[in-house]
Amino acid sequence: MTILVIGATGNIGRHVVTGLRDRGAAVRALSRLPGADTVAGDLTRPETLHGPLSGVDSVFLLWPFFSADGVPAVLDVIAQHANRVVYVSALSAEGGGVWGEVEAAIRRTDLEWTFLRPGGFATNTLEWAGAIRAGRPVRMPYPDAGRSLIHERDIADIAVLALTEAGHAGRTYALTGPAVVTQAEQVRILGEVAGRPAVVEEISAEQARATMAWADETFVDAALGYWRTLVDDPEPVTTTVEEVTGRPARTFTQWAHDHADDFRPLPAADVAERYVAAFRAGRMDQALRWAAPDMVRVAPLENGGKHVELRGVADITANAERLTGDVEIHAVEVDGPYPRGDRFAVRFSFDETDEPTGQRVSRTKLSLYTVADGVITREEVFYFDPPATGDRSAITG
Ligand SMILES: NC(=O)c1ccc[n+]([C@@H]2O[C@H](COP(=O)([O-])OP(=O)(O)OC[C@H]3O[C@@H](n4cnc5c(N)ncnc54)[C@H](OP(=O)(O)O)[C@@H]3O)[C@@H](O)[C@H]2O)c1
């Protein structure tokens, strides 16, 4: 039996791959970036999936997008090869949304399916790692929101059973952690386990919105609205993990122990490696976890030659959006990191088209980062070629 794991490099998928291999299954791990342990394929280009799917019986599927538009084409390719799909949906699929749409599309195929419907993932709290590492308060709205966050390994364990055993076809599993823990309590547990006392600073929903610039606006609205309801009406707790696996779901404290190193300061060279790896994988959300919440960025050529200091991830992200607003980026080459002491340098080369002029150019910049307490506190940017947007007259004049 050969199984294709889509999302194999992600939080759940990596444990699905090892869990299946431990059971002796033949596994193919899909990634957009081909590597020694992975096969190349891209969900946004369904034609690339035929190779990875040849000879495959069962597929572990997740849909990491904010729209379900591309789903029918992908399912069509999967159904040409495989018989069974185990899909990571979400508790909220009942109410529709992208997860509900993907489920409906799967039901319309002839594939045998199992839907895993997890609530919030404990891995979402990695977003707080930068603040906890740096010994700063974790800023969030609704600290009293009660959540039954699930350990990614529990989702993976159930996926492995559904992919390898009979008896899971047509089943929908609502999956949560074993108890409700408020967000403030999660922060306290993470600090305690990492040996770095951590506290919450409550911010408004509007302030939180500014820190979520990486996400789709509809998603941000839905997430903030949902978290607000959890203050008075915490998330439900299900016993499905125990019913399916025969042992209780892992607690949030267990998750914190498994990830304690993520919340402790690492040496600057290790921060550099992880930041650059996330950047290379196109995961800006993960790269930003290595940024101090009040990180400073100085890039004179983006500001008409002025040494303006942008402060805070929200302002830095907004500036990046302004600069790339009318630029189409074809490829980014990342050279580095080159660490030395508490600093490291990275050279970025962008192959891009400046949309107003239609000119395709290669633009190179060097970023010099400073690390303190395991997070990036400062980025100084030196351009070899000036950026396309920003204050053009000041750059060329
Ligand atoms: N976070 C939550 O609270 C929550 C709750 C309910 C459901 N979910 C669902 O859980 C899923 C996330 O699972 P996770 O945390 O394990 O994933 P993750 O760590 O966010 O990783 C995403 C995975 O998707 C792959 N991927 C991204 N774009 C791709 C593309 N175009 N083609 C092929 N593969 C692509 C990535 O592979 P490469 O980068 O190697 O290509 C990576 O392995 C999401 O689909 C979300 O809908 C999340």
Alpha-carbon distance of 46 to 35, in angstroms, equals 20
Judge contact between 245 and 178, C-beta under 8 A: no
Alpha-carbon distance of 372 to 265, in angstroms, equals 9
Which of 290, 256, 236, 254 lies closest to 120, judged by CA?
236
Whether omega for the bond prior to residue 337 falls within 30 degrees of 0, making it cis, is yes
| Contact 124 CB / ligand 1 (< 6 Å) | yes
Ligand 1 center–CA 11 separation, angstroms: 8
Ligand 1 center–CA 298 separation, angstroms: 32
The answer, yes or no, to whether residue 219 has pLDDT greater than 90, is no
Q: What is the DSSP letter of 142?
A: -
Alpha-carbon distance of 321 to 134, in angstroms, equals 26
What integer best gives the mean pLDDT of the chain? 92
**78-85: average pLDDT:** 98
| Contact 63 CB / ligand 1 (< 6 Å) | yes
Please give the number of the atom of ligand 1 that sits closest to the Cα of 92: 6
Least confident of 56-60, 105-109, 129-133, 250-254: 129-133
- The preferred substitution site among 6, 61, 62 for testing ligand 1, maximizing ligand atoms within 8 Å of CB, is 62
The residue contributing the CA closest to ligand 1 atom 6 is 90
Please give the number of the atom of ligand 1 that sits closest to the Cα of 282: 39
The residue contributing the CA closest to ligand 1 atom 5 is 120
Binning pLDDT at 50, 70 and 90, where does residue 84 land? very high
Ligand 1 center–CA 215 separation, angstroms: 14
The answer, yes or no, to whether residue 396 has pLDDT greater than 50, is no
pLDDT for 35 equals 75
Domains of the chain: 1-118 (3.40.50.720), 119-151+175-264 (3.40.50.720), 268-396 (3.10.450.50)
Amino acid at 195: G
Which of 26, 13, 73, 76 lies closest to 45, judged by CA?
73
The residue contributing the CA closest to ligand 1 atom 46 is 64
The residue contributing the CA closest to ligand 1 atom 15 is 11
